[in-house]
Amino acid sequence: MSDDSVSLLEHIRAAVKAHEREDIDGLTSAARAGGASSEDVRGALMAGLDDVRGKLMSNNASIPEFLLCIDTVTGGLNELSSVAREGPADGTTVVIGVVEGDPHDLGKSIIAGVYSAFGYRVVDLGNQVPSGQFVKGVVENQAEVLALSAMMSTTMGEMPVIVNEVKERSPGTVVMLGGAPLDRELAMEYGADGYAESAVTVLEETEAALKKASRA
């Protein structure tokens, strides 16, 4: 890789941190044209995002700023796909959705965005998803992770049913739960492998659950 490419990768990392959504396409194309691999560019995008995530975890960045950075990474990844004519990163597959009867979408979409920006292959089933669709989605995509969201106490009762069905059909799949009416204790009671309170913690929690499952 040339010195120019190395410099461009540094620029990409800095552009993500500064959430320069308009510049990221050009930087991504230029880095590829200069000889950087897709892997290098992805690495630079994620390094920038990880810097911001670190700031967020220490309360030195805000959720709006973090989302701007995720949007910047998404722009870079889309550009990478179009320039390199490649599919998404060959990362861990996560199936995500909101349970039946619950139309709240934003929280789930933010979590899907975090997963995607950090290299997971995300299959987003949307909201108001019947339990059978989750099982189907996990089996068909051979998902390593199922991320379930419910924003209401009236809909979260469906979660243990889905967890049981998924564990029966795909025992190796790690199930993560999240949403306003839940807490860690309830998530564990529902049979989940992990609980994420917010977009700030979802990555660590998922990685910890995956690590724990791989040791089992």
Partner 1 sequence: MQALRPRLDQEAIGLLRQGALFVLGDEGAAAAGELRRALDEYVELVAGIAAPAGVYITLPLLEIGRDGVSTRAGFIASPMFARFVERCVDPRALTFAVVTIGEAVDSELARDRPLFDRLVLDAVGSVLVEIVADLVEDAWKGELAARGLESGMRVSPGYCDWPVEGQGVVFEALDAGSVGITLSSSCVMIPLKSLSSVTIIAGRVPETSACAFCARAGCAWRRIPASVSKDNNAGEEGASRGEEE
Residue numbers of the site for partner 1 (CB under 8 A)? 18-19, 21, 61-65, 67-68, 70-71, 74, 101-107, 109-110, 113, 151-155, 180-181
Give the full edge-to-edge strand order of the sheet including 194-195: 121-124, 93-98, 145-149, 174-178, 194-195
Count the helix, strand and coil residues of the chain and give each as a percent rounded to the nearest 5.
Answer: 55, 10, 30
Give one DSSP letter per residue of 36-60, joined into a string. Answer: --HHHHHHHHHHHHHHHHHHHHTTS
- In the complex with partner 1, which residue's Cβ is closer, 44 or 61? 61
Minimum distance between the CB of residue 157 and partner 1, rounded to whole angstroms?
10
State which residue, 19 or 121, has the beta carbon closest to partner 1. 19
For the CB of residue 40, give the shortest distance to partner 1 in the complex, in Å. 25
Query: Which CB atom, from 151 or from 202, has the smaller least distance to partner 1?
Result: 151
Residue with smaller CB distance to partner 1, 110 or 208: 110
Radius of gyration of the chain (CA): 18
Q: In the complex, what is the shortest distance from the CB of residue 72 to partner 1, in angstroms, rounded to a whole number?
A: 9
Q: Considering beta carbons, is residue 33 or 180 the nearer one to partner 1?
A: 180
Q: Minimum CB separation from partner 1 for residue 65, in Å?
A: 4
Nearest approach in angstroms of CB 152 to partner 1 is 5
Neighbours of 58 (CB within 10 A): 8
Phi-psi bin for 59: left (phi > 0), alpha (psi -120 to 50), beta? Answer: left
Structure tokens, 173: 């799949």
Cβ closest to partner 1, residue 1 vs residue 106 = 106
Question: Which class for 27: exposed (0-12), middle (13-18), buried (19 or more C-beta within 10 A)?
Answer: buried
Q: Whose CA is closest to 132, among 160, 162, 175, 174?
A: 162
Kindly report the CA angle at 80 between 76 and 82, in degrees rounded to 5?
120
Minimum Å distance from CB 108 to partner 1?
11
